[in-house]
Amino acid sequence: MQLSYQLNYTPRVLRLAAITFFKQLIGIRFPILVIALSGFISWQFFIGNRGWLIGTAIGAIAVVISIMLSLFIAHLKLASSNAKKLENAVCTLELKNYGISFKSPLGNAEFPWPNITSMRRYEKFIFLKFNDGNYTSIPTTCIDEAGIKFIKSSITKHGGSIV
């Protein structure tokens, strides 16, 4: 079986996919841990504990937050630049029995179904996550229910999950 679709990427879809990936990357525990640790350190600082350990902890938290923000901004900037390149371009999605392939001005990519670890459907896009930590998005306005059903069945047949 082979299905083919023309994809129309918009900057909004690619930005939403980048934000979704970043949220999954850091998870919910990390921000809670940073907030709790920041609260404890702030409390220690304001009650008069101004030792080197508190100063080092403040510096470490500032560095970690700066690194996370810079990674997020760089990732979002890359998604925005890709969106500009793909805005009026023809992108082709091919669904085959052995894998999924994308053809666009940014290049060609082909992935066997076992490399896709999970799929999550959002209102504007389908989010596919690969076993090497990368991801891709497929705009839902460009693919019909038969294609979505084929993607779901192929991913689950090869050990992936539908979230």
Q: What is the pLDDT of residues 35-70, one digit of tens each?
A: 999 999 989 988 988 888 888 988 999 998 899 899
Given a contact cutoff of 8 angstroms between Cβ atoms, the answer to whether 47 and 131 are in contact is no
- % of residues, the chain, pLDDT over 90: 45
Q: Kindly report the average pLDDT of the chain as a whole number.
A: 89
Tokens at 141, concatenated: 């306005």
Residue 23 pLDDT: 87
94 versus 14: the higher-pLDDT residue is 94
Amino acid identity at 122: Y
Given a contact cutoff of 8 angstroms between Cβ atoms, the answer to whether 61 and 38 are in contact is yes
**Cα 91 off chain centre by:** 19
**DSSP code, position 143:** S
- % of residues, the chain, pLDDT over 70: 100
Least confident of 10-14, 39-43, 109-113, 124-128: 10-14
Separation of alpha carbons 84 and 10, rounded Å: 8
Is the pLDDT confidence value at 78 over 90? no
